[in-house]
Homo-oligomer: A and B are copies of this chain.
């Protein structure tokens, strides 16, 4: 106990001494945070904050010291996180390296994988992206067709991946490929690590109906990946991918909320619909706003319930599907309601006649329609709940 108190005192002192002032303000968007990698240039303060943290392993506090991590206990990591919050500090590094592929390699990777990748993730030198979806597969993820054919000590990849976030800004991709097309579709999939600079890899950004997006399509033509980059066994990649997906869904439930969403909606409602005795003047819209906020409260409380359960050792199960389903739908309702409040002012694409926040509301609404598609459609989540949670029979 006293040791932990010492750790807290030391950590706070260190944080106060080393954090640049600009890192003590909330970021305006996730773009302002550090995602690492060789392809993005970050401001000096951001890089400095990354470097001092990486040197202590504080970018990955619980990972082994030998691989560059902080080597902290869970209790110590909690203290670090609390102290970061107390000082309103930005995380020094975020991204798929820390949240997805790093933990996976620590669990499933070979020693060589760990030695090669973990330290570079900790230092933020390498940014990772995820190559799962394919244009033809959609919700039927396991039907993926990107082929990997063995040729000596390499796999030769042919095919394409879609909906890869930030593929154009990433150095490496963890990718699902088909190494066997003869049996059940889930049984011939392998999990590879691919350097994005390998000849034959081309990346094309995707334009959404809401405008520019982080999504890319990645084309693979005669791409040679060393066999040593295989994680787990050949043809056994599906199980690995599924474990990562469940992890992603839990994160996603929370992700759609923005700071101050409620206030923005109410402010817009007062401005565009007027006030009546201090209240939003239109009682029908007011009723819809209240319904939305009540449902949002229920989801927040449910997420909290899951977190509390996780703390006492309950493993997260299929409730991640609830979070994905409800989180995305609430975001859609919120964006839709914002349009209803703005009326014709929700129709702008750019330029004259619209305020910046009106233009943002419109694009947010358009973008929100993708929420119930990406990361597993709402229909897939309903299937998961029906089959795995409620144990309803197959057709």
Point out residues on A near B: beta carbons under 8 Å. Answer: 282-284, 287, 395
Contact = CB atoms under 8 A, between A and B. Distances in A.
A282 B283 CA distance: 9
For the complex, would chain A's binding face be called helix, strand, loop or mixed by DSSP majority? helix
Nearest to A287: B284
A200 to B, nearest CB: 39
Copies per assembly: 2
A163 to B, nearest CB: 27
Contacts of A287: 284
Contacts of A282: 283
Contacts of A284: 283-284, 287
Q: Which 5 A-B pairs have the closest CB atoms?
A: A283-B283, A284-B287, A283-B284, A284-B284, A395-B395
Contacts of A395: 395
Nearest to A282: B283
A283 B286 CA distance: 10
6 contacts: A282-B283, A283-B283, A283-B284, A284-B284, A284-B287, A395-B395
Contacts of A283: 282-284
A294 to B, nearest CB: 14
A255 B283 CA distance: 35
A287 B284 CA distance: 7
A269 B282 CA distance: 19
A208 to B, nearest CB: 28
Nearest to A395: B395
A386 B8 CA distance: 64
Nearest to A283: B283
A84 B117 CA distance: 90
Nearest to A286: B284
